[in-house]
Structure 1
């Protein structure tokens, strides 16, 4: 009797798992908020938690273009670093408050994406990747040469942030836990915006373009305009991440605009799972925790991280979070 019920019980178990995934999908922003509340408690130090959030947000912006639209960019460092520099320049040269700097960095990342996207969006495949790489190097050169504004190779040092007045409470940004929750608030707002984008008709359009561009074009969608808009939105997320990173470090090094920073976005997205909602943050956490732990024992930590990356690509092509979702779905 039990043998006869076993297949049915397996079906019930599978359907229950699917229902749980559906519930988690509908309330993913709420679940993210709950996780962000306790995340610093499980990290060895709060600064690492902040860096994971900023780089996770950066990878999230890249994932919108690569994972959901299917365009591989090697120039996202221009958006991340551009947002960081513009935020820092607003604080240093204009004396703007920190929240204005964050807004300037976000808008600046979107504007840089608009310029790069307008020049590169009509290309395809490896040509798009190479054009974005070349244009990002042009952005790097511009900021490197503008020594009076950016500090050149020495980077741009930001002034100390004044205490934050919030509903009558004065919060010190110097306090690591306060800094974490300020950054976490921006990250949670970004996740909410991304969730709304993906649930909108535009989100369905960009995923349709990724799956079958010719069919999307035949259905009457403006593929070029949709790609450009997705690139601009990706730039806004990356610019915000760069601005938050600048506030956290109180300095913007020129390496923020380097090609290695663009490679980080690709690696984190693939590690976590491209085209998944939480994958970029999982990838950022794995990469940065490995870097911090392995670098304590050896200066060759990049070799270890590279081996882990190769193993994940070979045996977990969906990424860590993508594989977990696949197994749960089965």
Structure 2
């Protein structure tokens, strides 16, 4: 059996377990972990946006929180101020993130290495402070809260995000579709262009690839993924806050990506899941739990430079011989 077949089987098993998780956790009387699992799915999608730039194109961004915030505020403002329903509000949030990424990307993709990282931080800080000052629109320090919208009304059957299980399945559906699209993208001509730019800009240019255009497209797609994660997070908490637009939130996504395996499809959500679970288990026991998180991250970087998923793929290839 090939390594690809093994990974596909494990992915299918993981998806099946995620689908039945609400029932399993209810049977185990551990409903609290369903909300944690919902959060892991959202943050895993957010980490995937950082991974698309860093792992697939070679651009280290510390500004993904900006587009996460635009998606979050797009949903909150759309529901609270414009009275939009679920799907229009989500569309507004994702569209706002994509437009912002398209504009910022025109400048950012012309830079490389630490210059690119710095400009992404600058954009994030500018709009973070704007969000704090535009209190009539964003709620400022207090944030913006709203009521959960109904998903749909089918002959009197009203499905609402106020039910934890319904909310979880809704998030799982959106996140699974987003990762399916990413998987398709990786095997497409555009995905191969991303890889070529990552491996060497000059070589890619000699092959006829428009490097700046490819970077910009990746930047916009990554912004859309971050915006989608932000929209889901707003619906998850019924709240939008400028604190989630700060560049340190982007830094967490980078850590999750490195820990899980940059360039792999499921590495970032694996890294996010691991560190979020560590946080949930240790935060109530020891207030300095971030030290353990830091030590764990350093250990993975030292002993598994390709991350958890990258290390697993290398081991599997060695065992299967393929």
How many Å separate the matches in 2 of 1:149 and 1:140?
Answer: 13
Give the aligned partner of residue 77 of structure 2.
89
Q: How many equivalent residue pairs?
A: 312
Contact 1:61 1:237 (C-alpha < 8 Å) held by counterparts? yes
After TM superposition, the structure 1 = structure 2 runs for residues 28-107 of structure 1, keeping only pairs within 5 Å, are 30=12, 33-40=15-22, 41=24, 45-107=33-95
Q: Which is higher, the Rg of structure 1 or of structure 2?
A: 1
How many Å separate the matches in 2 of 1:29 and 1:233?
Answer: 23
How many Å separate the matches in 1 of 2:104 and 2:148?
Answer: 33
2:288 is aligned, of 297, 300, 303, to 300
1:110 is aligned, of 77, 98, 114, to 98
SS of residue in 2 equivalent to 1:171? strand
How many Å separate the matches in 1 of 2:56 and 2:304?
Answer: 19
How many Å separate the matches in 2 of 1:30 and 1:169?
Answer: 30
Query: Residue 257 and residue 222 in structure 1: after superposition, are their counterparts in 2 closer, same or farther (change >3 A)?
Result: same
Contact 1:273 1:319 (C-alpha < 8 Å) held by counterparts? yes
How many Å separate the matches in 2 of 1:95 and 1:80?
Answer: 21
SS of residue in 2 equivalent to 1:67? helix
Give the aligned partner of residue 239 of structure 2.
251
Give the aligned partner of residue 8 of structure 1.
none
SS of residue in 2 equivalent to 1:103? helix
1:270 maps to 2:252: no
Moved more, 24-33 or 303-312: 24-33
Structure 1: tracts of 5 or more residues without a match: 1-15
Structure 2: tracts of 5 or more residues without a match: none
Contact 2:150 2:158 (C-alpha < 8 Å) held by counterparts? no
Residues 169-206 of structure 1: per-residue CA shift (max 9 Å, x gap): 43231111111000001001101111111111000010
Residues 13-55 of structure 1: per-residue CA shift (max 9 Å, x gap): xxx3xx1x22256678755632431345367621101100000
Deviation (angstroms), 1:166:
5.3
Moved more, 176-185 or 250-259: 250-259
1:185 maps to 2:173: yes
Give the aligned partner of residue 130 of structure 1.
118
Contact 1:29 1:192 (C-alpha < 8 Å) held by counterparts? no
Deviation (angstroms), 1:313:
1.2
SS of residue in 2 equivalent to 1:108? helix
Give the aligned partner of residue 281 of structure 1.
269
Deviation (angstroms), 1:163:
5.5
SS of residue in 2 equivalent to 1:190? helix
How many Å separate the matches in 1 of 2:292 and 2:133?
Answer: 35
How many Å separate the matches in 1 of 2:108 and 2:13?
Answer: 37
Deviation (angstroms), 1:271:
1.1
SS of residue in 1 equivalent to 2:56? coil
Query: Residue 27 and residue 232 in structure 1: after superposition, are their counterparts in 2 closer, same or farther (change >3 A)?
Result: farther
Contact 2:109 2:215 (C-alpha < 8 Å) held by counterparts? yes
How many Å separate the matches in 2 of 1:52 and 1:93?
Answer: 29
Query: Residue 201 and residue 25 in structure 1: after superposition, are their counterparts in 2 closer, same or farther (change >3 A)?
Result: farther
1:327 is aligned, of 292, 299, 315, to 315
Query: Residue 163 and residue 266 in structure 1: after superposition, are their counterparts in 2 closer, same or farther (change >3 A)?
Result: closer
User: Normalization by structure 1: what TM-score?
Assistant: 0.90
Cα RMSD (Å) of the superposition?
A: 1.8
Write out the 4+ residue segments of structure 1 that deviate beyond 6 Å after TM superposition: 26-29
1:218 is aligned, of 206, 225, 228, to 206
User: Normalization by structure 2: what TM-score?
Assistant: 0.92
Contact 1:24 1:31 (C-alpha < 8 Å) held by counterparts? no
